[in-house]
Structure 1
Amino acid sequence: MSDWTDKRPMSPHTSIWKWHLTMASSILHRVTGVGNYLGIFIVVAWLFATAVGPDYYEPMSAVVGSIWGQLILFGFSLSISYHLLNGIRHLMMDTGTGYKPKFASFTAGLVMILAIALAVGIWILSGLVPGVDPLNMTGAV
């Protein structure tokens, strides 16, 4: 700080701030926004490969079907779920409610838990979890 010659005040650095749930929620909302932007390119590439034909679909399907591809897709599902639910939380806050610190922390934590539950639920209900067929889509009795 001894190098600071500007007369204006210096912005505090994140290392001196006390981390709390609402701060993490705000940062995570921004990160998931960027993640959703990048993740959509994977989905578009997958759809493009499906539309073009088997020469493109088979290699893309192998990548998406790999363990890394599945982890990336699950992360994308989690990112979309979090961003959606936190966006709803922000819409609620736009009405002027939810700004009290305890309630804001509660809703931030709730959104994180519900986002995980939503992403896992989507994967289970869509049959993307190996060995799980909750809607009996395979026709087994």
Structure 2
Amino acid sequence: MNSKRPVNLDLTTIRLPLPAYTSILHRVSGVILFVGIAFLLYGLDLSLDSKAEFEQFTECLTSPIAKFIAWGLLTGLGYHFVAGIKHLLMDAGIGESKESGKTGAQVTLVLGVALSILAGVWVW
């Protein structure tokens, strides 16, 4: 096949639509949750070994790094939940047009940011 179409290899000039960015963020939040499970399981293991290790774990949770990790996990969970609901609605036939897809992406981003702020207020 001899294609004479132009090929754009400069990734900085490619402009994706808003729903594409929300889809990419949905995948990224899923990866964050997958990696975060390791931290959560480590914390569960520490908290179940002994009373001393439970106290060590609760003391560790007061550090800024642990709070940042908890905030990141809650932010990822909130965004992934909102984007998942959007995808379920699209599977049901709601919001499949181009304009409603753009509106759904905007709503997803706004709700994701709102949940992230709420998670930050709750953690700190």
TM-score norm. by structure 1 comes to: 0.71
User: Aligned to 2:96, which of 91, 95, 99?
Assistant: 99
Greater share of residues in helix = 2
Report the counterpart of residue 36 of structure 1 in structure 2: 33
User: Aligned to 1:86, which of 74, 77, 83?
Assistant: 83
Q: Which has the larger radius of gyration?
A: 1
Report the counterpart of residue 21 of structure 1 in structure 2: 18
- Of 11-20 and 107-116, more deviation after overlay is shown by 11-20
TM-score norm. by structure 2 comes to: 0.79
Q: Which amino acid aligns with 1:116?
A: V
Q: CA deviation at 1:95?
A: 1.5
Task: Verify: 1:128 aligned to 2:117, yes or no.
Answer: no
Answer 1 or 2: higher relative contact order, Cα 8 Å, separation at least 6: 2
SS of structure 2 residue aligned to 1:99: coil
Task: Kindly provide the CA deviation profile for residues 55-108 of structure 1, in whole angstroms up to 9, marking residues without a partner as x.
Answer: 433443344321121111101100000111100100000012212222212211
RMSD: 2.7
Are residues 14 and 47 of structure 1, via their aligned partners in 2, closer, same or farther at CA, if it must alter by over 3 Å? Answer: farther
Are residues 113 and 14 of structure 1, via their aligned partners in 2, closer, same or farther at CA, if it must alter by over 3 Å? Answer: farther
Superposed counterparts of 1:41-120, under 5 Å? 41-120=38-117
The unaligned stretches of length 5 or more in structure 2 are none
Task: Tell me if the contact between 1:46 and 1:61 (Cα under 8 Å) persists in the aligned partners.
Answer: no
Pairs aligned (count): 122
Task: Tell me if the contact between 1:85 and 1:115 (Cα under 8 Å) persists in the aligned partners.
Answer: yes
The unaligned stretches of length 5 or more in structure 1 are 1-5, 130-141
In percent, how many aligned pairs have the same letter? 25
